[in-house]
Amino acid sequence: MASQHLRPHATLQHASELAYTAKRVARRGRGILASDESNATTGKRLATIGLDNTVENRKQWRELLYTAPGLGQYISGSILFEDTLHQSTADGRSFMSVLEKQDIVVGIKVDSGLQPIAGTDGETATQGLDGLSERCAEFYKMGARFAKWRAVLKVGDGCPSSTAILENAHGLARYAQICQDNGLVPIVEPEVTLGPGDYSIERTAYESEKVYSHVFRLLNEYGVMLEGILLKPNMILPGLDAPVPSPEEVAEYTVRTMKRTIPAAVPGIHFLSGGMSEEEATLNLQALQGHEGCPWSLTFSYGRALQNATLNTWAGKPENVKAAQDVLVALAKANSEAQLGEFKGPHPVPGGGRILQALRLGGAGK
């Protein structure tokens, strides 16, 4: 006799649609354009090219990204910030319709940012569960079909702590449950972030295995249908002060970590680019494809690795829009080829170094 506490996936109203959407986004040769930066974060990036953080400048930047000709050949989904979901191009087309015309599934960032966890060494938890069900229902009505919630765990002395792991695993699981109940495929993002220090690649692998194991235990306890989620983890990298490993070494530790912790039911693993350079992110992605026995699509959900060079090429000048879009599509194409194991180079943005990504606390930055 079945337990009354079980939450059979067959009872999910959107079960078949969730599985379809997850497979559609995770299909081979495609990845996700992560363009869900908050207004505050976008403002910091615009400042690097001398632009003020205004609604119009942010809208022009997003329009450049979403209207790039041919982007849909390589990008299957795009994550939007909530404000962007309501915006339109200069000629009156909604950003959502522009993406859908390119066969790009629209996703939405639903967390409200990071807050410090009391009693820890600067560790954070992600906020945003209050009112999430109502918001997800509204986003689904508007046409969004997947969502994103980012949890960040750092490596250091005593970190990640059990407190931070359990708090963030709970948040991710509850978020995923709420999303699925409202028809949205949840991107589960437990990021063991690339940070300062000379800690080894073995240390990152160990901490990542521990984090992912707790996350999937909670996902199962909350009755989340794994066929209807996508995972957005970090690649396994040493600290920023350690020597940069080869793509082959990164792939070896990353695939091993995934095989030890991620169930085969998950259709797609979309790696974040974190602090990697554009070229490093592409080469590491390609190296992952050389490992056999992986039941998931190993692909990408890149933000800075697709946007940084594009932004610098644009420089806020209308006459540079086409050149900037060409850079974006070339980067998307390079990573699409890497996902298929077919990238031969040269890379559109060669070289470059790693960066330390500052964690912004205090909400979503509206």
Catalytic residues: 189, 232
SS3 for 260-294 is: HHCCCCCCEEEECCCCCCHHHHHHHHHHHCCCCCC
Tokens read off for 118? 């009391």
Backbone angles phi, psi at 324, to 5 degrees: -65, -40
Cα 359 to Cα 36, 90, 245, distances in angstroms: 15, 33, 24
Backbone angles phi, psi at 344, to 5 degrees: -120, -10
Residue type for 161, please?
S
Cis peptide bond upstream of 190, omega within 30: no
Do 18 and 228 contact (CB within 8 A), yes or no? yes
Determine the Cα–Cα distance for residues 44 and 39; give it in Å rounded to an integer.
9
Cα 178 to Cα 13, 103, 145, 215, 224, distances in angstroms: 12, 26, 13, 16, 9
Do 196 and 241 contact (CB within 8 A), yes or no? yes
- Three-state secondary structure call for residue 227: helix
Do 49 and 311 contact (CB within 8 A), yes or no? yes
CB atoms within 10 A of CB 342: 11
Q: CA nearest 237: which of 191, 169, 278, 170?
A: 191
